[in-house]
């Protein structure tokens, strides 16, 4: 059996390993347009690679039911055990799982080593441009040559961080091949707001954040917010961006910060006791209540800052094994699908679980 995998990121590399472990006789080739596999892994979790989360997974994804069904195919213990076998020993910070080295480089190197041990064929600097099917076999067309396969798996990621190879070209290719595409947009992204935040740019605050859509509370979370020149950032805001992405109409979305949750009857002249003087001055200048600072959503930041992309190949295009409903022996895994999760290891966990699903399905 000849299997071609398009993309040597988290899902593509893990899929190649699991395919060879389960079926040593398979001939597995990974195509990667970069000069090295797994480049994006190197920047995950601030260079530490938060590859799993031991907490609740329900409510953490856009297509939540679908994502959780796929996650069931790779229990977290199995993922962590497999990584341990490859030499990636886990450590936990709260519910977040990292390599004990706290270095994403360990994950990259150990996965590369395992791929080599298993004899996976790696074709670097090879950009997949198109594919066609004739006489029961697929032909993959790259910038260098054509290759024949029995099975194709697209693991080419989304549109976020194009500087690391994910330019979204495969999403457009799949649109041309007749697949339904949920329109991509940046997610896990800082947000631009209509108000001017320049004067408090660089300040960080611990606060309670509410997302208000059409005057109704839609989501809330406590955390740290970082003010930028023209907007807001911080993990809690990145999580808000995934929620905003799920709204069809984004015209009346507000992010409201409570900078002094649990403290009551604070007078304006006391603001400096609760927040940095620069922020206190900003609140007074704009006549804002310390418990209710409202910012109007304007836009997401660009793909080159966003950690993932929302949208991609519609989950309705695949069956439970992630095989295309339109084309037999063609599969999709990872962020290329319309699945995006919140901060905390959920996206890598989906990438690995989707790869495990396909590795077990190909016989």
Contact set with ligand FAD (CB under 6 A): 6-12, 31-34, 39-40, 43-45, 50, 127-128, 155-157, 160-161, 165-166, 169-170, 307-308, 334-336, 345-348, 351
Closest CB 346 distance from ligand FAD, rounded Å: 6
Asked if 86 and 113 touch (Cβ cutoff 8 Å), the reply is yes
Q: Where are the beta strands (DSSP E) in the chain?
A: 2-6, 27-31, 52-53, 90-93, 96-99, 121-123, 128-134, 137-142, 146-149, 151-154, 181-187, 191-193, 204-213, 216-228, 231-233, 253-258, 293-300, 308-313, 330-332
Which residue, 174 or 200, is less far from ligand FAD as judged by CB?
A: 174
What distance in Å separates the CA atoms of residue 350 and residue 342, rounded to the nearest whole number? 11
Nearest-approach distance from CB 141 to ligand FAD, in angstroms = 10
Q: Which residue lies nearer to ligand FAD by CB, 11 or 208?
A: 11
Q: Considering beta carbons, is residue 40 or 243 the nearer one to ligand FAD?
A: 40
Question: Which tokens belong to 291?
Answer: 């418990």
CB of 323 to ligand FAD, least distance (A): 17
Contact 309, 186 (CB under 8 A): yes
Q: Shortest Cβ contact with ligand FAD: which residue?
A: 9
Give the largest CA-CA distance in the chain.
78
Residue with tokens 């990292």: 98
Pick 42 or 294: Cβ nearer ligand FAD = 42
Minimum CB separation from ligand FAD for residue 200, in Å? Answer: 24
Give the number of other CB atoms < 10 A from CB of residue 200.
19
Nearer to ligand FAD, 225 or 358 (CB): 358
DSSP codes of every residue in 200-233: GTT-EEEEEEEEEETTEEEEEEEEEEEEETTEEE
Please say which residue, 148 or 217, places its beta carbon nearer to ligand FAD: 148
CB of 227 to ligand FAD, least distance (A): 20
Tell me how far, at minimum, the Cβ of 8 lies from ligand FAD, in Å. 5
**Minimum CB–partner distance for residue 144 and ligand FAD (Å):** 11
CB nearer to ligand FAD: pick between 170 and 240: 170
Compute the least distance from the CB of residue 244 to ligand FAD, in Å. Answer: 18
Q: Output 8 or 234, the one with its CB closest to ligand FAD.
A: 8
Helix then strand then coil, % of the chain, to nearest 5? 30, 30, 35
Nearer Cβ to ligand FAD, position 290 or 308?
308
Alpha-carbon distance of 227 to 217, in angstroms, equals: 22
Q: At closest approach, how far in Å is the CB of 7 from ligand FAD?
A: 3
User: Reduced to 3 states, what is the DSSP secondary structure of residue 163?
Assistant: helix
DSSP lists the bridge partners of residue 332 as 154
Give the other-Cβ count within 10 Å of 25's Cβ: 6
C-alpha to C-alpha distance for 146 and 218, rounded to whole angstroms: 49
CA distance 341 to 352: 13
CA–CA distance, 79 with 296 (Å, rounded to integer): 40
Residue 277, phi-psi category: left (phi > 0), alpha (psi -120 to 50), beta (remainder): alpha
Output the smallest distance, CB 124 to ligand FAD, in A.
Answer: 9
Task: Rank residues 84 and 130 by Cβ distance to ligand FAD and give the closer one.
Answer: 130
């Amino acid at each position: 059996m000849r299997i071609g995998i398009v993309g040597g990121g988290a899902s593509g590399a893990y899929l190649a390993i699991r395919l060879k472990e389960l079926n040593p006789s398979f001939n597995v080739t990974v195509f990667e347009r970069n000069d090295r596999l797994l480049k994006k892994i190197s920047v995950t979790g601030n260079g530490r690679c938060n590859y799993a989360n031991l907490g609740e997974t329900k409510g953490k994804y856009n297509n939540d039911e679908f994502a959780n069904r796929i996650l069931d195919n790779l229990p977290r213990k199995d993922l962590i055990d497999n990584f341990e076998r490859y030499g990636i020993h886990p450590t936990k910070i709260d519910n977040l799982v990292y390599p004990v080295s706290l270095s994403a480089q360990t994950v990259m190197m150990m996965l590369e080593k395992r791929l080599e041990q298993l004899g996976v064929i790696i074709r670097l600097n090879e950009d997949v441009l198109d594919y066609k099917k004739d006489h029961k076999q697929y032909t993959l067309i790259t910038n260098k040559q054509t290759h024949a396969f029995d099975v194709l798996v697209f693991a080419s990621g989304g549109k976020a961080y194009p500087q690391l190879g994910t330019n979204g070209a495969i999403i457009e290719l799949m649109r041309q091949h007749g697949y339904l595409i949920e329109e991509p947009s940046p997610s896990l992204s800082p947000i631009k707001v209509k108000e001017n935040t320049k004067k408090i740019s660089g300040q960080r605050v611990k606060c309670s954040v509410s997302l208000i859509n059409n005057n109704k509370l839609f989501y809330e979370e406590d955390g740290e917010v970082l003010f930028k020149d023209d907007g807001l950032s911080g993990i809690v805001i990145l999580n808000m961006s995934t929620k905003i992405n799920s709204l069809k109409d984004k015209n009346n979305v507000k992010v409201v910060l409570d900078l002094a949750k649990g403290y009551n009857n604070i007078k304006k002249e006391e603001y400096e006791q609760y927040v940095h003087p620069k922020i206190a001055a900003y609140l007074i200048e704009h006549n804002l209540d310390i418990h209710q600072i409202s910012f109007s959503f304007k836009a997401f930041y660009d793909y080159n800052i966003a950690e993932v992309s929302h949208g991609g190949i519609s989950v309705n295009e695949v069956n439970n094994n992630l095989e295309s409903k339109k084309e037999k022996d063609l599969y999709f895994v990872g962020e290329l699908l319309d699945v995006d999760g919140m901060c905390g290891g959920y996206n890598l966990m989906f990438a690995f679980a989707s790869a495990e699903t396909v590795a077990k399905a190909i016989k």
